[in-house]
Amino acid sequence: MFRIASCIALSLLLAPARGAETADPAQALLEQARQWQFLERPLDGQHALDQLLHIAQPASNLHAEALTLQALGQLQARQTEQARRTLARLRAQHPGYAGIARVERMFRLRGADSAALLRARALFEAGRAQEAYAAFDKLYQGSPPEGPLALEYWQVVARLPGDGWSRAQTELKRLRAAHPTSHRVRSVLASIYLLHPPLPQAVLDELQDLSGFDDSRGEAMALWRRALLQEGGNPPLASYRQYLQRAPDDQTVRSRMAESDARQRRQREQLADPGYRALLAAGRQLDANQLGAAEQSLRLAAARYGRDPQYLRSLGRLREKQGRYADAAEAYSRGQALGGDDWRQRLADARLGEALAGAREAMDRQDWPQARAWIESARQLRADDADVLLAEADWQAAQRNLPAARDYYWLALRRKPDSGRALAGLTALYLEQGKYEDADHLLAAMPMKQRAALGDAYRSAEAQAARARGDALRDKGQTEQAVPYLRQAVSLQPRNPWNRYALAGALLAAGQDAAGKAVLSELADEPSADPDSLYAYALFLSSRGEGPAALAALEKMPAASRTPGMAALQRRAWLKQTLALADAESARGEGWRARRWLEEAEARLAGDGALLADVARAWQRMGDPDRARTLMRDACLAQPTVDNELAYAGLLLDQKRQAEAEPALAVLARNGQRLSAGQRQTLKDLLAGQALIRAEQARAAGQPRQADDILRQAALAAPDNPRLQRALAEGDMASGRWDAARGRLDKILAARPDDDEARLALLDADIGAGRLGVARSGADLLSQPKPGRDADFMLRVLSRIAALGDADRVDSELARLRAAGLSAPGVYLLAGERAQAHGQPQQAQALYREGLEASARQAAAAQPSAETADGPLRQLPPADAREEGLHRAYAELLDKQSWKAWQGIDLLYRGPSDGTPGASQMTLWQTPLLLEKAAPGNGHYFFRGEAASVSAGSLDLGPGNDYTLNRFGSVAACAPSASPQACAAAYGAQRARGVALGGGYESDDWRFDIGVTPLGFPVSNIVGGARRTGDLGPFGYKLALARRPLTSSLLSYAGVRDPYVGQAWGGVVATGVGGGLGYDKGGSFGVWSNFAYQQLSGENVDSNRKLTAMGGVYWRVVDEPDRLITAGVNTVNFWYRKNLGGFTFGQGGYYSPQRYNSLSLPLRYAARNERWSYFIRGAASFSSAREDASPFYPTRPDLQARAGNPFFGAGSGPGRGTALTGAFEYQLSPGVVLGGMLDLQRSQYYQPSRLLFYLRYQPDGAPRTLPFPVEPLQPYSEF
């Protein structure tokens, strides 16, 4: 009857659901076939397969699976030949389908491997589960079987140590859900619970249910009987009675029920006693490791059961778990006095535990003799115990007796094959020595049985070996090779957060920071994440600068779970976030809010010197170095620890207060032996920083050799300090010792492959040495994304790429940075500069504006607040240099695109004491007008108009002035027929007036202009020129082609009309080419040079030629944003072919020696504040010159003959001179600037004075600050 009901139920279950519109008939048929085969009724399943093969598409996976099941069913029905034909059809129609391997495996199990299958089953029946599992695993090639064989397989797995039972339970439950009508699956699942008594009531109920079916009654009754008779099972009496209803003649079960009933009556009586209940509870609590609760329970039981063996056993167990082994031994001794067989062993275990615990504690505090004594005591108790051998191995390893340690670990592992501690110790010993192959061989050689016994400990050792290999490769800088090993460590121990932390760090170093973050967040994001997972995640986030996220991760863990290290990280993360908020408030001008943040940090971190040092540095960034210094000084006085003293000394060095830092550093250096290794390294770094400051001061004082000596001496004490070595390399590069610099930098990189600063300096060395191919390779490497390479660093790399002349590469890399979402001010700054270089000023303006808006958003997002502060608004300079540069570039671009109007009045004066009246004396008034308008691209158009009035006075017609009069015009040729005074009188007062006009275009790279010298002068010339400027590697260059007037005198500039000759002469212009080359990287010095070749010509003036070569070097003695002091050495050299410095007809009236050499020593001071910008420049010069004799009338031989062939005399000699120049600009209003300049020159050959005042007007206001240094208005005549 039961069988008929079962079949009906099964038919109903397997029948496809009718009326279910979403049911798939083909899948339903496939599932029916599987169910019938699992019930070992393949012929019933064949009906479903026949229908399925009829409707399935021949090329579909459904068709392939149907053939697979048909072949398996035929084998199950022992239709071997039909199965072979079906397999052949499957291979032909679906080559490569996975089902082919399943059928082939079943053929093997019923053929070639049938004997091996029987042997595996025999091992299982003999109770040798691990050997049976290895045999089954070999047969199934690591993949569990399907169908009825799966039940056999999971029964074997359930008997394996470790997690075998839980794996089997999971899989059998899955099979039960897939085959709910299979009584066999239900019976097998129930059977494995017998391996871990007592059985749950649900399993007993399941066995009772299964005993009601014909096909499962026998097996279910046998299992039920075993459960009832099993020791420790304690099934309820109801289960006995239900069993006896089905097997009333089973006297053994009936007797056991009577015993259980009597025992339960006694227990009920005892359970009425609170003391006994407490005694039982203590046992359960000890099993659950609830030591506090067990202590309380035993106290309650002590009064009545203090001499009970069960009480003494529980008390001894408790004391052992508490590590109080002497007390445990005392409890066991009392139990031994009561009699029994197990007390001796318990007492021996307690005394052994006491000895081993003593050895561990002594080794922890590095008391090696005491540890040795405890180990000897343990050896006397049980010399061959695995834990004793482990203690011996640990002691030998700590003494660096590595061969002995290895032997003891091996002995412990042989004594106790499942000892995870022994395996871990032996593996660590190999790994510590770098013997990775030995560690791998150790693990690979372990038999499967031992691996299974070790369980998690074996996987932990595998992970330990993989982690060690990965860490070693990372230490060598081979990050990509390390990642696979670290991934293996994570896969072997997926719940180990520190293996994940190592992998995340490697991925971060490889530029895969998102992947690294995901590795750790997988555990940290779990609702029940453990403290270690959260701590590892927070450490990683903190290393990436994600302070708020790190703080959030730490705050997820309960305060009681935080270790001191976790609490310290939380404080660091909170401080980092607080300082970021303060910096943001300061950057957007809310200094009072920033101060509140820092004051709160001071209060919360009082007593924590290390973190207060960061607060002090924040005060310094805010421009309050005194507050920073006071904070650290007070911290040192309150807690005069070495760490606080080091932090205070570091702050003083940061503030360049070397003299105050030196005493503290000297004391720390004298007590160096008392410092920890970390403190000694910090001290070395500070001493290196001190040396760098002293070297910088020596270099600024013009003593580069002393600076190098300081650095070399410091490098002897700290040869591995990268900052010192980089500074020495920079000194080598400054002196052109490129190979020496490269050698130093190569050594740094050999020790620190990830030192990007050294690699960047190496790139500079290669560029300087002309190794451009190597430099490009270095630039390629540095331009790759990598953790730690922030936007500022990438921009510095791009500046080197630009120096290599690869503008396209700069554009592409910049585009990549922007595409990656980098919004640092420097990115927008460079993008804007590149847009200007491409002639796209509007795009550049948009980029600058976007960058400023992004910076403002970032600062505002740090701490939104609706509060406002009383008092005037003030503009604070951006803290970041790149952001300041962005402001400056935007202002300069707006300035270029705005209208400007300049109007000035300029006086050039050479008085009677410095020149000859009527000839070299000169008063030149000019009123320069300059209009500028933005042009398409990066430049602007300009128009110039200058009214000029020049006067030389009148010749002195006194009777004693014949010598001077004969040296002007044609007086000497006129004199034979008249006196010089009579001839000279006709010239009258020498003056001229006119208006000069000019216009052109100017950009950063080009300037073009064309104009005319003042119209109205006796001689007027067309003038103009073209100029090109740019960069050539690290140098700047200038090329020019020009025609310019000479304003040395009225004669050279305006020309003079000669009344006797009837012609004008003068109006000299210099036409030629020139160029310059300079070097200035914004460092402590710069170099400049100019070269020119010019042809000089004028109306009725003899032609001339001039060669010029000049150059100099200058040093920035003080280089601050608003203050600059420079000193230098300049040399000026020029050579004229002819001496045409006279004022007779045909001479040019300009100083033209055949050789002129001078050396000058200039000194300039420049400063700027909110409204003023000014400079003062002084110079002393020493010169030497030579002039050849020159005829009075080089262009008129007739006049020369008539005058008696006179010559200007030759001469040579030394000279000296001084110069003083001052200039200023003052912001009268946002759109109006007043400027001026005074220039005084005193030398033997050139003594003019110049005075200039001008106004500059911009209708929309001046976007940029006043120029620094001042750039006075230049008249067109001085171009």
Q: Does any domain span residue 283?
A: no
Q: Does any domain span residue 777?
A: no
Q: How far apart are the first and last CA of the chain?
A: 121
pLDDT of residue 1: 37
User: What CATH number corresponds to the domain at position 95?
Assistant: 1.25.40
Last residue of a domain, one of 521, 539, 562: 562
What is the number of alpha carbons within 13 Å of residue 908 lying toward its C-beta? 25
Same domain, 958 and 1099: yes
**Cβ partners under 8 Å of residue 1056, min gap 6:** 969, 987, 990, 1018, 1050, 1064, 1065, 1066
Q: What one-letter code names the amino acid at 11? A: S
pLDDT of residue 878: 35
Q: Does any domain span residue 892?
A: yes
Query: In the predicted model, is pLDDT for residue 868 greater than 60?
Result: no
**Cβ partners under 8 Å of residue 815, min gap 6:** none
Q: What one-letter code names the amino acid at 492? A: L
State the average pLDDT over residues 1114-1136: 91
Q: Classify residue 1034 by its DSSP letter.
A: T
Same domain, 930 and 1067: yes
Q: pLDDT band at 1270, cuts 50/70/90?
A: very high
Q: Does any domain span residue 89?
A: yes
Q: Does any domain span residue 1031?
A: yes
Last residue of a domain, one of 514, 540, 562: 562
User: What CATH number corresponds to the domain at position 1128?
Assistant: 2.40.160
Query: In the predicted model, is pLDDT for residue 869 greater than 60?
Result: no
Which of 128-137, 244-253, 554-563, 683-692 shows the lowest mean pLDDT across its residues? Answer: 554-563
pLDDT of residue 588: 53
State the average pLDDT over residues 133-147: 76
Query: In the predicted model, is pLDDT for residue 320 greater than 80?
Result: yes
Same domain, 888 and 929: no
Helix (H) or strand (E) holding 1135: strand 1123-1136
Q: Classify residue 41 by its DSSP letter.
A: -
> Between the CA of residue 1135 and those of 317, 557, 1105, 1186, what are the distances in Å?
108, 84, 8, 10
Query: In the predicted model, is pLDDT for residue 863 greater than 80?
Result: no
State the average pLDDT over residues 455-484: 82
Number of H helices, E strands in the chain: 54, 21
Same domain, 822 and 856: yes
pLDDT of residue 2: 39
State the average pLDDT over residues 575-585: 69
pLDDT of residue 791: 66
Q: pLDDT: is 477 or 1008 the higher one?
A: 1008
Residue 516 burial (CB count, 10 A): 24
> In this structure, are residues 279 and 297 in contact, taking their beta carbons and an 8 Å threshold?
yes
Query: In the predicted model, is pLDDT for residue 1208 greater than 90?
Result: yes
Same domain, 855 and 903: no
pLDDT of residue 1018: 96
pLDDT of residue 22: 42
**Tens digits of per-residue pLDDT, 846-858?**
777 777 766 665 5
Query: In the predicted model, is pLDDT for residue 1277 greater than 80?
Result: yes
Q: Nearest 5 degrees, angle CA 859-CA 864-CA 868? A: 100
Q: Does any domain span residue 159?
A: no
Which of 140-144, 213-217, 663-667 shows the lowest mean pLDDT across its residues? Answer: 140-144
Same domain, 1119 and 1013: yes
**Cβ partners under 8 Å of residue 497, min gap 6:** 520, 523, 530, 532, 533, 535, 536, 537
Residue for token pair 């910088």: 696
Q: Classify residue 559 by its DSSP letter.
A: G
Which of 12-21, 35-44, 303-312 shows the lowest mean pLDDT across its residues? Answer: 12-21
Last residue of a domain, one of 562, 590, 611: 562
pLDDT of residue 950: 96
Q: pLDDT band at 864, cuts 50/70/90?
A: very low
Q: Does any domain span residue 600?
A: no
Question: Can you tell me the distance from the alpha carbon of 837 to that of 939, in angstroms, rounded to the nearest whole number?
Answer: 11
Question: Can you tell me the distance from the alpha carbon of 1102 to that of 1140, in angstroms, rounded to the nearest whole number?
Answer: 8
Domain that holds residue 510: 495-562
Total number of domains constituting the chain: 4
Sign of the C-alpha dihedral computed for residues 744, 746, 750 and 756 taken in this order: positive
* Count of residues making up the chain: 1279
Query: In the predicted model, is pLDDT for residue 874 greater than 60?
Result: no
CA-based R_g, the chain, Å:
49
CA 257 to chain centre: 74
Q: Does any domain span residue 944?
A: yes
pLDDT of residue 34: 67
Question: Can you tell me the distance from the alpha carbon of 280 to that of 506, in angstroms, rounded to the nearest whole number?
Answer: 53
Same domain, 1111 and 1183: yes
State the average pLDDT over residues 1128-1132: 96
Q: pLDDT band at 53, cuts 50/70/90?
A: confident
Query: CA nearest 301: which of 292, 288, 310, 291?
Result: 310
3-state percent helix, strand, coil for the chain, nearest multiple of 5: 55, 20, 25
pTM equals 0.49
Same domain, 849 and 989: no
Same domain, 506 and 553: yes
Determine the 3-state secondary structure of 272 from DSSP: coil
Same domain, 884 and 911: no
Same domain, 32 and 94: yes
Same domain, 837 and 945: no
**Tens digits of per-residue pLDDT, 630-651?**
887 877 777 777 777 778 787 7
